[in-house]
Amino acid sequence: MKALITGGCGFIGSNLTDILIASNDEVVVVDNLVSGKKENCNPAASYIFEDIADALMNPKLRQSLQDVEVIFHLAAMPRIQPSFKDPLYTLRNNTQGTAIVCEFAREIGAKVVYAGSSTFYGGVYLNPYAFSKWAGEEVCKMYSQIYDLTTSIARFFNVYGPRHLKTGPYSTVVGIFEEQYQNSDPLTITGTGEQRRDFTHVNDICNGLIAMSIGDHRGEAFNLGSGTNYSINELAAMYPNASTAYIPKRPGEADETLADTTAIHSATGWLATHKLKEYVLSYVEGIKND
Protein backbone atom coordinates (compact mmCIF):
# COMPACT_ATOMS: atom_id res chain seq x y z
CA MET A 1 0.00 0.00 0.00
CA LYS A 2 0.94 3.66 -0.14
CA ALA A 3 0.83 5.21 3.30
CA LEU A 4 1.14 8.79 4.51
CA ILE A 5 2.54 9.16 8.03
CA THR A 6 2.18 12.52 9.72
CA GLY A 7 4.84 12.96 12.38
CA GLY A 8 6.89 10.22 10.75
CA CYS A 9 10.23 11.58 12.00
CA GLY A 10 9.19 11.19 15.61
CA PHE A 11 9.61 8.28 17.99
CA ILE A 12 6.59 6.19 17.00
CA GLY A 13 6.28 7.47 13.44
CA SER A 14 9.85 6.61 12.46
CA ASN A 15 9.52 3.08 13.84
CA LEU A 16 6.26 2.67 11.91
CA THR A 17 7.99 3.94 8.77
CA ASP A 18 10.73 1.34 9.13
CA ILE A 19 8.25 -1.51 9.60
CA LEU A 20 6.17 -0.49 6.58
CA ILE A 21 9.26 -0.05 4.39
CA ALA A 22 10.46 -3.50 5.45
CA SER A 23 7.09 -4.84 4.22
CA ASN A 24 7.67 -3.19 0.81
CA ASP A 25 5.01 -0.55 1.35
CA GLU A 26 5.45 2.94 -0.10
CA VAL A 27 5.69 5.61 2.60
CA VAL A 28 5.46 9.40 2.48
CA VAL A 29 6.18 11.31 5.69
CA VAL A 30 5.08 14.81 6.64
CA ASP A 31 6.88 16.22 9.67
CA ASN A 32 7.70 19.77 10.80
CA LEU A 33 10.60 18.50 12.95
CA VAL A 34 9.40 20.22 16.13
CA SER A 35 9.89 17.01 18.09
CA GLY A 36 10.91 14.70 15.22
CA LYS A 37 14.50 14.28 14.07
CA LYS A 38 16.05 14.04 10.63
CA GLU A 39 18.36 11.28 11.84
CA ASN A 40 15.24 9.10 12.20
CA CYS A 41 14.61 9.25 8.45
CA ASN A 42 14.52 6.08 6.37
CA PRO A 43 16.20 6.58 2.95
CA ALA A 44 13.54 4.44 1.28
CA ALA A 45 10.73 6.79 2.32
CA SER A 46 9.79 10.20 0.88
CA TYR A 47 9.78 13.24 3.18
CA ILE A 48 7.98 16.58 3.29
CA PHE A 49 9.43 18.74 6.06
CA GLU A 50 6.45 20.99 6.68
CA ASP A 51 3.59 21.44 9.09
CA ILE A 52 0.69 19.22 8.09
CA ALA A 53 -1.59 22.23 7.59
CA ASP A 54 0.85 23.81 5.15
CA ALA A 55 1.59 20.53 3.37
CA LEU A 56 -2.00 19.39 2.93
CA MET A 57 -3.16 22.84 1.85
CA ASN A 58 -0.46 23.04 -0.84
CA PRO A 59 -2.13 22.19 -4.20
CA LYS A 60 1.04 20.71 -5.71
CA LEU A 61 1.73 18.48 -2.70
CA ARG A 62 -1.92 17.48 -2.48
CA GLN A 63 -1.79 16.32 -6.07
CA SER A 64 1.25 14.14 -5.39
CA LEU A 65 -0.58 12.41 -2.53
CA GLN A 66 -3.81 11.55 -4.34
CA ASP A 67 -2.99 7.82 -4.44
CA VAL A 68 -2.39 7.46 -0.69
CA GLU A 69 -4.51 4.62 0.72
CA VAL A 70 -3.95 5.02 4.46
CA ILE A 71 -3.04 8.04 6.57
CA PHE A 72 -1.44 7.27 9.92
CA HIS A 73 -2.00 10.55 11.72
CA LEU A 74 0.64 10.65 14.48
CA ALA A 75 1.64 14.32 14.27
CA ALA A 76 0.79 16.19 17.46
CA MET A 77 2.06 18.50 20.15
CA PRO A 78 2.91 15.71 22.61
CA ARG A 79 2.95 15.42 26.39
CA ILE A 80 0.87 16.92 29.16
CA GLN A 81 3.13 19.46 30.86
CA PRO A 82 4.02 21.55 27.76
CA SER A 83 0.31 21.85 26.92
CA PHE A 84 -0.32 23.93 30.05
CA LYS A 85 2.06 26.60 28.76
CA ASP A 86 0.45 27.01 25.33
CA PRO A 87 -3.04 25.49 25.12
CA LEU A 88 -3.89 27.34 21.91
CA TYR A 89 -0.88 25.87 20.10
CA THR A 90 -1.84 22.44 21.44
CA LEU A 91 -5.42 22.75 20.18
CA ARG A 92 -4.35 24.10 16.81
CA ASN A 93 -1.94 21.25 16.21
CA ASN A 94 -3.82 18.36 17.73
CA THR A 95 -7.45 19.18 16.96
CA GLN A 96 -7.48 21.46 13.95
CA GLY A 97 -4.62 19.44 12.44
CA THR A 98 -6.75 16.30 12.72
CA ALA A 99 -9.63 18.03 10.94
CA ILE A 100 -7.30 18.98 8.09
CA VAL A 101 -6.11 15.37 7.80
CA CYS A 102 -9.67 13.99 7.80
CA GLU A 103 -10.78 16.49 5.16
CA PHE A 104 -7.86 15.52 2.94
CA ALA A 105 -8.62 11.83 3.48
CA ARG A 106 -12.24 12.49 2.47
CA GLU A 107 -11.04 14.12 -0.72
CA ILE A 108 -8.79 11.25 -1.79
CA GLY A 109 -10.74 8.34 -0.30
CA ALA A 110 -8.05 7.23 2.17
CA LYS A 111 -8.45 5.55 5.54
CA VAL A 112 -7.36 7.41 8.67
CA VAL A 113 -5.71 5.76 11.67
CA TYR A 114 -5.56 8.44 14.36
CA ALA A 115 -3.20 8.44 17.32
CA GLY A 116 -5.42 9.24 20.27
CA SER A 117 -4.25 9.03 23.86
CA SER A 118 -4.90 7.01 26.99
CA THR A 119 -5.17 10.36 28.81
CA PHE A 120 -8.83 9.99 27.80
CA TYR A 121 -9.31 7.71 30.80
CA GLY A 122 -7.84 10.15 33.28
CA GLY A 123 -10.32 12.86 32.26
CA VAL A 124 -10.40 14.93 29.08
CA TYR A 125 -10.60 18.19 31.06
CA LEU A 126 -7.57 17.39 33.21
CA ASN A 127 -5.15 19.18 30.88
CA PRO A 128 -5.14 20.82 27.43
CA TYR A 129 -3.29 17.88 25.86
CA ALA A 130 -5.91 15.32 26.92
CA PHE A 131 -8.71 17.58 25.72
CA SER A 132 -7.07 18.24 22.35
CA LYS A 133 -6.49 14.53 21.67
CA TRP A 134 -10.06 13.65 22.67
CA ALA A 135 -11.37 16.45 20.45
CA GLY A 136 -9.37 14.89 17.61
CA GLU A 137 -11.17 11.61 18.28
CA GLU A 138 -14.49 13.40 17.98
CA VAL A 139 -13.41 14.91 14.66
CA CYS A 140 -12.68 11.41 13.34
CA LYS A 141 -16.06 10.13 14.53
CA MET A 142 -17.86 13.06 12.96
CA TYR A 143 -16.19 12.46 9.59
CA SER A 144 -17.11 8.77 9.79
CA GLN A 145 -20.75 9.47 10.60
CA ILE A 146 -21.36 12.32 8.18
CA TYR A 147 -18.98 11.49 5.32
CA ASP A 148 -18.63 7.70 5.78
CA LEU A 149 -14.87 8.11 6.15
CA THR A 150 -13.04 5.02 7.40
CA THR A 151 -11.39 6.05 10.66
CA SER A 152 -10.03 4.25 13.70
CA ILE A 153 -8.63 5.66 16.92
CA ALA A 154 -5.59 4.25 18.75
CA ARG A 155 -5.20 5.15 22.40
CA PHE A 156 -1.53 4.70 23.29
CA PHE A 157 -0.38 3.67 26.75
CA ASN A 158 3.08 4.95 27.79
CA VAL A 159 5.14 3.94 24.79
CA TYR A 160 8.83 3.08 25.17
CA GLY A 161 11.57 1.63 22.97
CA PRO A 162 14.16 2.59 20.35
CA ARG A 163 14.27 6.34 19.63
CA HIS A 164 12.15 7.45 22.56
CA LEU A 165 13.21 10.89 23.71
CA LYS A 166 15.50 10.96 26.73
CA THR A 167 15.84 14.69 27.31
CA GLY A 168 13.68 17.77 26.90
CA PRO A 169 9.99 18.48 27.51
CA TYR A 170 8.76 15.61 25.31
CA SER A 171 10.88 12.86 26.89
CA THR A 172 9.35 9.64 28.25
CA VAL A 173 9.87 8.36 31.79
CA VAL A 174 11.70 5.26 30.54
CA GLY A 175 13.87 7.48 28.34
CA ILE A 176 14.62 9.81 31.26
CA PHE A 177 15.57 6.89 33.49
CA GLU A 178 17.87 5.50 30.80
CA GLU A 179 19.69 8.82 30.47
CA GLN A 180 20.02 9.20 34.23
CA TYR A 181 21.12 5.61 34.77
CA GLN A 182 23.76 5.80 32.07
CA ASN A 183 25.12 8.97 33.66
CA SER A 184 25.03 7.42 37.16
CA ASP A 185 22.55 10.09 38.25
CA PRO A 186 19.61 9.44 40.60
CA LEU A 187 16.39 8.40 38.88
CA THR A 188 13.95 11.27 39.45
CA ILE A 189 10.52 10.10 40.57
CA THR A 190 7.60 12.51 40.71
CA GLY A 191 5.31 12.46 43.72
CA THR A 192 5.26 9.24 45.72
CA GLY A 193 6.16 7.06 42.73
CA GLU A 194 3.12 4.88 43.40
CA GLN A 195 1.35 6.12 40.26
CA ARG A 196 1.00 3.16 37.90
CA ARG A 197 1.55 3.10 34.14
CA ASP A 198 0.89 0.57 31.38
CA PHE A 199 4.20 0.58 29.49
CA THR A 200 3.96 -0.59 25.86
CA HIS A 201 6.83 -1.27 23.45
CA VAL A 202 6.85 0.82 20.28
CA ASN A 203 6.98 -2.23 18.01
CA ASP A 204 3.75 -3.50 19.58
CA ILE A 205 2.21 -0.08 19.03
CA CYS A 206 3.23 -0.03 15.35
CA ASN A 207 1.90 -3.52 14.73
CA GLY A 208 -1.37 -2.46 16.34
CA LEU A 209 -1.63 0.57 14.07
CA ILE A 210 -1.05 -1.58 11.00
CA ALA A 211 -3.67 -4.09 12.17
CA MET A 212 -6.17 -1.25 12.59
CA SER A 213 -5.48 0.02 9.07
CA ILE A 214 -6.62 -3.26 7.53
CA GLY A 215 -10.17 -3.13 8.91
CA ASP A 216 -13.16 -1.05 7.82
CA HIS A 217 -13.84 1.02 10.94
CA ARG A 218 -16.12 3.97 11.61
CA GLY A 219 -14.59 5.88 14.48
CA GLU A 220 -13.98 2.92 16.79
CA ALA A 221 -11.42 3.50 19.54
CA PHE A 222 -8.90 0.77 20.39
CA ASN A 223 -6.52 0.60 23.35
CA LEU A 224 -2.93 -0.21 22.45
CA GLY A 225 -1.34 -1.29 25.70
CA SER A 226 0.35 -4.25 27.31
CA GLY A 227 -2.47 -4.97 29.76
CA THR A 228 -0.01 -4.85 32.68
CA ASN A 229 1.02 -1.82 34.71
CA TYR A 230 3.88 -0.95 37.04
CA SER A 231 4.38 1.81 39.56
CA ILE A 232 7.16 4.27 38.82
CA ASN A 233 8.90 2.93 41.92
CA GLU A 234 8.74 -0.58 40.46
CA LEU A 235 10.15 0.70 37.18
CA ALA A 236 13.04 2.39 38.98
CA ALA A 237 13.78 -0.83 40.88
CA MET A 238 14.36 -2.63 37.57
CA TYR A 239 17.62 -0.67 37.13
CA PRO A 240 20.27 -2.46 39.25
CA ASN A 241 21.89 -0.39 42.00
CA ALA A 242 20.19 2.81 40.85
CA SER A 243 19.67 5.58 43.37
CA THR A 244 16.45 7.61 43.31
CA ALA A 245 15.38 11.15 44.06
CA TYR A 246 11.81 12.29 44.60
CA ILE A 247 10.51 15.54 43.10
CA PRO A 248 7.11 17.25 43.48
CA LYS A 249 4.07 15.74 41.82
CA ARG A 250 3.15 17.39 38.50
CA PRO A 251 -0.36 18.70 37.78
CA GLY A 252 -2.78 17.07 35.36
CA GLU A 253 -1.47 13.50 35.49
CA ALA A 254 -3.55 10.40 36.20
CA ASP A 255 -2.83 8.09 39.14
CA GLU A 256 -3.10 4.93 37.04
CA THR A 257 -3.28 3.73 33.44
CA LEU A 258 -4.08 0.17 32.39
CA ALA A 259 -5.22 -0.92 28.94
CA ASP A 260 -8.19 -3.17 28.30
CA THR A 261 -7.25 -4.61 24.90
CA THR A 262 -10.32 -6.82 24.48
CA ALA A 263 -11.73 -4.74 21.62
CA ILE A 264 -8.64 -4.67 19.41
CA HIS A 265 -7.86 -8.32 20.07
CA SER A 266 -11.40 -9.24 19.08
CA ALA A 267 -11.32 -7.05 15.96
CA THR A 268 -7.81 -7.81 14.69
CA GLY A 269 -6.18 -10.51 16.82
CA TRP A 270 -3.54 -8.04 18.03
CA LEU A 271 -1.84 -8.49 21.40
CA ALA A 272 1.27 -6.85 22.84
CA THR A 273 4.18 -9.29 23.12
CA HIS A 274 7.10 -7.26 24.50
CA LYS A 275 7.87 -7.20 28.23
CA LEU A 276 9.09 -4.09 30.05
CA LYS A 277 11.43 -5.98 32.42
CA GLU A 278 13.13 -7.75 29.53
CA TYR A 279 13.63 -4.45 27.73
CA VAL A 280 15.16 -2.75 30.79
CA LEU A 281 17.51 -5.67 31.47
CA SER A 282 18.59 -5.70 27.81
CA TYR A 283 19.31 -1.96 28.03
CA VAL A 284 21.35 -2.43 31.21
CA GLU A 285 23.36 -5.27 29.64
CA GLY A 286 24.01 -3.08 26.60
CA ILE A 287 25.54 -0.38 28.82
CA LYS A 288 27.78 -2.95 30.51
CA ASN A 289 29.05 -4.20 27.15
CA ASP A 290 29.85 -0.73 25.77
- Domains of the chain, by residue range, sit at 2-160+200-226+258-274
Mean pLDDT computed over 188-217: 96
Q: CA 186 to CA 72: how far, in whole Å?
A: 37
pLDDT at residue 170 is higher than 80: no
Closest CA to 31 of 20, 22, 39, 23: 39
Reported confidence tier of residue 169, pLDDT bands at 50, 70, 90: confident
Q: What is the pLDDT of residue 63?
A: 87
Q: CA 205 to CA 13: how far, in whole Å?
A: 10
Q: What is the pLDDT of residue 168?
A: 85
DSSP secondary structure code for residue 256 in this structure = B
Domain 2-160+200-226+258-274 has CATH 3.40.50.720: yes
pLDDT: which is higher, 169 or 287: 287
CA distances from 134 to 73, 86, 101, 116, 189 (A): 14, 17, 15, 7, 28
Residue 160: which H helix or E strand, with range? strand 159-160
Mean pLDDT computed over 1-14: 97
Mean pLDDT computed over 96-102: 97
Task: Report whether 142 contacts 105 (CB < 8 A).
Answer: no
Task: Report whether 188 contacts 176 (CB < 8 A).
Answer: yes
Task: List pLDDT tens digits, range 14-69.
Answer: 999 999 999 999 999 999 999 899 999 999 999 999 999 899 988 888 888 999 99
Mean pLDDT computed over 84-110: 95
Residue type at 95 in one-letter notation: T
pLDDT: which is higher, 215 or 128: 128
pTM assigned to the model: 0.94
Q: Is 72 in a helix, a strand, or coil?
A: strand
How wide is the angle at C-alpha 146 spanned by C-alphas 29 and 59, nearest 5°?
35
Mean pLDDT computed over 78-86: 88
In degrees to the nearest 10, what's the CA dihedral of 59, 64, 66, 67? 180
Q: Are strands 187-190 and 218-224 parallel, antiparallel or unpaired?
A: unpaired
pLDDT: which is higher, 215 or 281: 281
pLDDT at residue 288 is higher than 90: no
Start-to-end CA span in the chain (Å)? 39
Q: What is the pLDDT of residue 250?
A: 85
